[in-house]
């Protein structure tokens, strides 16, 4: 039976093919060991402009190239090639809606976990609507019994497929124990991030987030929020270590990332955060972020790439 997803076109090694025809060698290091680096990129449709905007493409490709370097992969694609391939596959699908793109550079062929090539790429753009507004959402999280991977073993800065085994352990444990998601602590016993997102807290009107050295992915949403909070909302935003107990006594907690955007956390380890619903600062940040991504916030066009 043909389902919608079967009709999607993806880019694989220079060819645009229907998703079911995009096959990868089962013995490749990507299939066996998660030896791939990738980006999750969001593109937002602006109906008034009749335009699809890719959000912070330049920063995504910079991080992708950094991941390839740290993972010792051949730097095979220029930023121009990465961009053009994305544009080609989006145009081939004729998407005129919000989408999420998985752009993945992987180790192909009959290699082992230590092979460096051949390097190939796929780009899979899939329709994905925006996350509900914060007042309709609220995650109940636990602090995970699993520690976040660190720069001393497998670095969370490398956005490599295999890193998500650490995320999987925390997320599944949290759900099995009745929570929606988990918050990791790092090797130093400080708050790190979520399984697929970064974390902010609000204390007395100040926005606080763990530093990039706290075993986190160098999140693009995180730096976007710091900039928007300071420049658009006049908030003080600081990067510093966060203690576990601060999650219990702060006024607001939220998670953020390209996929989830901004989502409030209303309970941590059974402690109610603030009034147990999305706080005002979380709402303001979410609203400003959603305007920026869709080209509805003056002065932030620099973050957007027109795809048509």
Instruction: Using CB under 6 A, list all residues that contact ligand PMP.
Output: 40, 167, 193, 196-198, 217, 219-222, 257-258
Q: Is 38 helix (H, G, I), strand (E, B) or coil?
A: strand
Residue 23: count other Cβ atoms within 10 Å of its Cβ: 8
Residue among 159, 190, 236, 283 flagged as catalytic: 159
Nearer to ligand PMP, 10 or 149 (CB): 149
Nearer to ligand PMP, 24 or 226 (CB): 226
* Rounded CA separation 185/193 (Å): 7
Nearer to ligand PMP, 115 or 254 (CB): 254
Report, in Å, the least distance between residue 111 CB and ligand PMP. 25
Instruction: Output the CA torsion sign for 57, 60, 66, 71.
Output: negative
Report, in Å, the least distance between residue 51 CB and ligand PMP. 22
**296: Cα separation from own chain's centroid:** 21
Nearer to ligand PMP, 194 or 274 (CB): 194
Class of residue 4 by CB neighbours under 10 A (exposed 0-12, middle 13-18, buried 19+): exposed
**250: Cα separation from own chain's centroid:** 24
Q: Is 159 a catalytic residue?
A: yes
DSSP β-bridge partners for residue 52? 45
Does residue 225 contact residue 285 with C-beta atoms inside 8 Å?
yes
Report, in Å, the least distance between residue 212 CB and ligand PMP. 11
Report, in Å, the least distance between residue 261 CB and ligand PMP. 9
Q: Is 20 helix (H, G, I), strand (E, B) or coil?
A: helix
**Which sequence positions are flagged as catalytic?**
159
């Amino acid at each position: 039976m043909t389902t919608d997803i079967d009709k999607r076109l993806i880019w694989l090694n220079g060819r645009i093919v229907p998703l079911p025809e995009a096959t990868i060698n089962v013995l490749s290091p990507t299939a066996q060991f998660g030896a791939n680096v990738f980006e999750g990129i969001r593109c937002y449709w602006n109906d008034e402009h009749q335009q699809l905007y890719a959000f912070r493409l330049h920063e995504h490709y910079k991080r992708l190239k950094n991941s390839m370097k740290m993972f010792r992969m051949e730097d095979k694609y220029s930023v121009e090639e990465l961009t053009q391939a994305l544009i080609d596959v989006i145009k081939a699908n004729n998407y005129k809606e919000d989408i999420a793109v998985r752009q993945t550079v992987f180790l192909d062929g009959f290699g082992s976990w230590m092979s460096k090539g051949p390097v190939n790429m796929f780009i899979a753009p899939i329709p994905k609507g925006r996350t509900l507004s914060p007042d309709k959402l609220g995650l109940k999280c636990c602090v995970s019994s699993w520690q976040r991977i660190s720069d001393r073993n497998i670095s969370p800065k490398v956005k490599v497929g295999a890193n998500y085994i650490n995320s999987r352990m925390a997320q599944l444990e949290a759900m099995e124990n009745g929570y929606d998601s988990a918050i990791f602590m790092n090797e130093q016993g400080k708050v790190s991030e979520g399984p697929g997102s970064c974390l902010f807290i609000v204390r007395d009107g100040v926005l606080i987030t763990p530093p990039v050295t706290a075993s986190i992915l160098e999140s693009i949403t995180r730096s976007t929020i710091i900039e928007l909070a300071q420049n658009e909302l006049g908030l003080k935003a600081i990067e510093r270590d966060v203690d576990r107990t601060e999650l219990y006594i702060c006024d607001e907690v939220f998670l953020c990332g390209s996929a989830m955007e901004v989502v409030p956390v209303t309970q941590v380890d059974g402690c109610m955060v603030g009034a147990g619903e999305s706080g005002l600062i979380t709402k303001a940040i979410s609203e400003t972020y959603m305007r920026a991504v869709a080209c509805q916030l003056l002065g932030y066009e620099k973050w957007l790439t027109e795809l048509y």
